[in-house]
Every structure is written in C-alpha cells, then in structure tokens.
Amino acid sequence: MSSSEKNNGSSEKFRIIPFIATFVIMLTTWFVFSGKFKIPFIVMGVISSLLVAYFSHDLLFPKRTVFKGMSFTWFKFVTYIPWLIYQIVLANLHVLYLVFHPRMNELINPQIIKFKSKLKKDMAQVTFANSITLTPGTITVYLSVYGDYTIHAIDDASCEGLPGEMEKRVGKIFGE
Amino acid sequence: MDIVVIVMIVLGLFFYFAGSVGVIRFPDFYSRLHPAGMMDSMGLLLVMGGLAIHVATGVATGDPKIIESNDILSAVKIVLIVVFVYITSPTATHAIVDAGVRAGLGPWTKKKSEDSDGKRMD
C-alpha cells in the first residue's frame, strides 16, 4: 500500500510541459477530425482538449520521459517509414506468390526462430517487434524485456534477413 | 488520375482476395495468420491510398480543378485510418499468436507432416 501512496503523491505534482504537449496534440487531432473552423466548434475543441490533457498527460508522456531529442527521434522515425513500406510491399509479393502457388505445401517451411536483439530501449524493442509483424512472413510470437525475440516465419526466405538491417535501422532511430 | 485510383483500388482488392485464399490454403493456425494479418495491411494501404488520391484531387466533391481544404482534410483522415491500422494490426496479430502459444498449440512443420501424415502432435 505504501508504494501506491507514494505513486499517488508524486503524480499529484503537476507537470506543465507534458500537459501543454498533450493539449496541442489533442487540439490538432480535433481540428483534423472536425474540419470546421467556426467559433462554437473551436471552443468545444479547446474545452475538451483541456479536459483530456488534464486527465491523461501522464498517460501520453510517462514520468521519466526525456524531451531532449524527441523531435529528432520522430523525424528519424518518419524517414524510416518509406523503407518499412518498401519492405512490406516486397514481403507481401512473396507471400502472394506463396498463396497462389499450386504446390504451396512444399514451398513453405513454417518454423520458429529465436534471436537476441541488441536493442535496449522499450520503444525501440516495440518498434522492432511491430515492424517484424508488419512484414508478411514473420510474426513476433514473444518478446522479453531483455530483448529475446521469438519469431514465427512462414518459410526460409522470410526469416533469413532477421535481425539484420531492420534492427540496425530501428537502432539508428532511437540512437543505439 | 482516375486510372491510377482504379488500378490502386483493384490491386488492393486483389490483395484482400489473396489474403482470404491464403487463410483457407495455409496448413495451420500460425501460418494462416500471415495472410490474414498482413495481406490486409497491404490491401488497406492500396485501397485507402487510392481513395485518398481520389478525394484529394477533388473529384469526389465538386469541381476537380479546384482543390478545397475539405478535400485535403478528408484525405488526411483517410491516411490516418492507415496509420492507426498499421499500429493496431500487428498488435492484434501478436495477441492472437500469443493466445495460441499460451494454449499450447505447436506449429505445423514439414517433418511432422511427413511422419504423421499431416496430423499435428503437440
């Protein structure tokens, strides 16, 4: 019980930067989704964004969030997306070929592979795991906090590139 | 531009179709998730990309020569659909795989199928 009380005590300290950041993100989302720029809509948006930002600024930016270099990380993440989509298209074509192949059962070789990743940060590990799952032919089965990945692969060609280049690129985004 | 949109949407529907065929044809639970979870994301990318181009060029609402701000907003919303699905789809797929592993279902492998004539043993 004492630990939870401690948590409550420290979360009551109001942090202004996460609040403002959450508010700006919420308001931007509001304008994109509403698409109306008349006074009543703007007032409603500001009020609800303020409420949501007040309630959940801890949710979007947890306590130990480091703001330094965050925008740079986001920029690097955006530059990673085109390469990821290119990989998704390549792998999709491969799975497409497998799906329509008449002797598909001889071509595929479902297997579970394990490897240890060098990534340390939570976000880097999750991004890497989701990238693996997004690429057809490989699904992340299990991921431990120490970076042990268990991957289910549909055939040999799908998993031969792992961890490889994708890990390097994800590591580059998060500066590892 | 219409041709690009039509080609993208038809290709996307083809990927959806391939995903459905793959779900039926692949041998076991885990390998069926590959087409189910991922061909969908490709189909979504193509279909929604086509729709976004269609809407952004103003063909859907009024004069195609004048691009209105509403058209751009609608296109951004369509792109946001893709973004959210690309975050949630791998998570959902992982949850399904995890459920299978926790239930103790072993993956289908080639050797087993040769030994036991396709029957799975955990």
Comparing C-alpha atoms, which of B75, B48, B49 is closest to residue B61?
B75
Is A110's CB within 8 Å of B31's CB?
A: yes
CA distance B78 to B74: 6
A74 and A156 co-located in one domain? yes
B20 touches chain A (CB under 8 A): no
A131 and A54 co-located in one domain? no
A55 and A106 co-located in one domain? no
Q: Does A65 reside within a domain?
A: no
Q: Does B121 reside within a domain?
A: no
B16 touches chain A (CB under 8 A): no
Complex-level ipTM beyond the 0.95 threshold: no
Which of B31, B78, B109, B112 to mutate to test binding with chain A, by most A CBs within 10 Å of its CB? B31
CA distance A172 to A165: 10
Phi, psi of A56 (to 5 degrees): -125, 25
**Å between A136 CA and nearest CA of chain B:** 5
Q: What's the pTM?
A: 0.74
**Which domain, by its residues, includes B48?**
2-116
Q: What is the DSSP code string of A46-72?
A: HHHHHHHHHHHHHHHS-TT---TTHHH
**Which domain, by its residues, includes A44?**
2-60
- Output the tens digit of pLDDT for each of chain B's 122 residues: 788 889 999 999 998 998 888 888 887 888 888 888 888 888 888 999 898 888 887 665 556 566 666 778 888 888 888 888 888 888 888 888 888 888 877 777 766 544 444 444 44
Of A40, A60, A80, the position where a domain reaches its end is A60
Total domain count, chain A: 2
Q: Does B21 reside within a domain?
A: yes
Contacts of B89 in chain A (CB under 8 A): 134
Q: Does B122 reside within a domain?
A: no
B87 touches chain A (CB under 8 A): yes
CA distance B46 to B40: 10
